[in-house]
Structure 1
């Protein structure tokens, strides 16, 4: 067994965890503490100087969180990870290491509406500028690159439409530009797609969604692939230049293939402070234990529901990459052969008002702004998550006025179909 590489389901249960050495507790304990006692003055100094690994203060690291970080890094095939308070916090921490005021990053137009808003508006106050590109045309990423570009950002499975991104094609663009590819893998999870295997340098997640899986805890995570040379070309001074706050050490030189994860922790999380609660880390860890079982059920149910909707007279179109003939079906078979995910959209013939009426008439589906729950969820993006966009931008983001987004849960598929049938009839 020592020579065997554990399978995905085994890692989902065991990676990063050991019985508690003091009590023998099998479940990872919740270390609900703000701070940790040092052995002596020299021990404290070595921790603060990054000369030794250990616990100082829960804003920077915590033993419960550390198990979560090691587990997700193992599932994604990365070298290290950092857990933070939310998916949005993960994006801020990542880009803070890469961008200075006036720098740019290229991002896919097909993104979660909150990310579009964050990139377009909130990041302007940092002097970070987004340039948009179209994942359906990977060459548009190449055209968007400029001397100021410091990163490329995509989603493996785009929210809200569930479209599949050609990761390898865009990774090639990023590699030729000499910048890292950041992939938000929230909707796919590593059970369906491992972006690092396809050229990603950094992976981020909203742990709130499928990894936690139960709609009870906010969280985010950053996974370092360990594949990018941060010293090349002096583009990334946070990692390549001496850090005055740590006696002049160079993060990349000192920490090698997990340098980016360390920089995110000691230069980002330490100072910006979006720490993940150990209690939330515990709940998310518990959710990850059943990730393979849940994701397969999510995908199987989603395909059945999509097939039903595709044949319904009130539905104009269904965007689900798992359907034969869908525009993204070939990419789904290449990147996500176990299933095309559980989040997708469909268009109603009655337009905006039909979308509003549908979400009002569903009874089993919960009408709320989340995805990745065990429960099935529904939302009308044009009136909610994407309402800040103008109509043209909504359509580009896959959230036009007639679009309804579903996040399919793990209930019996027959019950989900029956609920949609009665609501469409009503």
Structure 2
């Protein structure tokens, strides 16, 4: 189960493993109640009495996770004893990796979730990675390879890897090996090999915040409002001048960095709101393409010929159009597609990933996060709350 930085609700999937092949057997989405969404959003920045607010929000969030579990079992008509464990990510409310004492915090009461569901729960996947010197994110490259590496093939000498982008509140990049003898680290700016990845910058977060401010909506359905505007080149350039975009990986970020106050520092005050919205869509796409081109010039597009998208942003046709535009503008003849063509709905990927990570935790298999998060060594991720 997963709730991401878009703050739209809980995605829950049932996964079945056959040898090394993982299959999604069912999926439900449980939207957050409005009050809980507001609490979680507010907790991305400091506020009065925030410890009490966070504790109460965590209980409400955990109840949402438990409800998602029950709805999922009902939807797929599976008995509880068929479940080996629940892998639950929780809700990130702070990702202060650049602080003097780096930390990341995901709300979820694993003990309560285990009690409510009568299942073993694996959660808190990120903090041990931070203890090992990593940034705790992104973890997606590992499970992207587990889910999709065997579903892709490469016929050309350089087609040894796939490039993926998950577009939630934040966008994160994955480069991972596909099933080919050519899948070696020699083709990449990666001394340790694959998979590797990093956060490119804002995904839907700024767009969601902007439309909430000006239209009273939680998101821009199909990019309909943004499509009525025009890209403002000067605003785009000012936003892209932010230091985050020029940092080399490993790097990760969150809503506590990319928020409306951040955007306000780059606005001049006379921009039409709809034009700002279109510019934010271009910012998301351009930062993704720049990140791939600058940090991994040999990995795109020669290694894949395609960029595979997942997450809520992959449902936005305008955003996919912007990605294609930015790729073409920098001379990349890279096709933009989604995980749906590989048999997994774009909304299921992250939840599926934490089922995979939970299985590794329970089998005591460390994950090599060195090229994803910058950790000093492979790490056994997650905390386990066993069922009674």
The structure, 1 or 2, with the larger RCO (C-alpha pairs under 8 Å, 6+ apart) is 2
For the criterion TM > 0.5, the same-fold answer is no
Rg larger in 1 or in 2? 1
What is the TM-score normalised by the length of structure 1? 0.26
What is the TM-score normalised by the length of structure 2? 0.28
Structure (1/2) with the larger strand percentage: 2
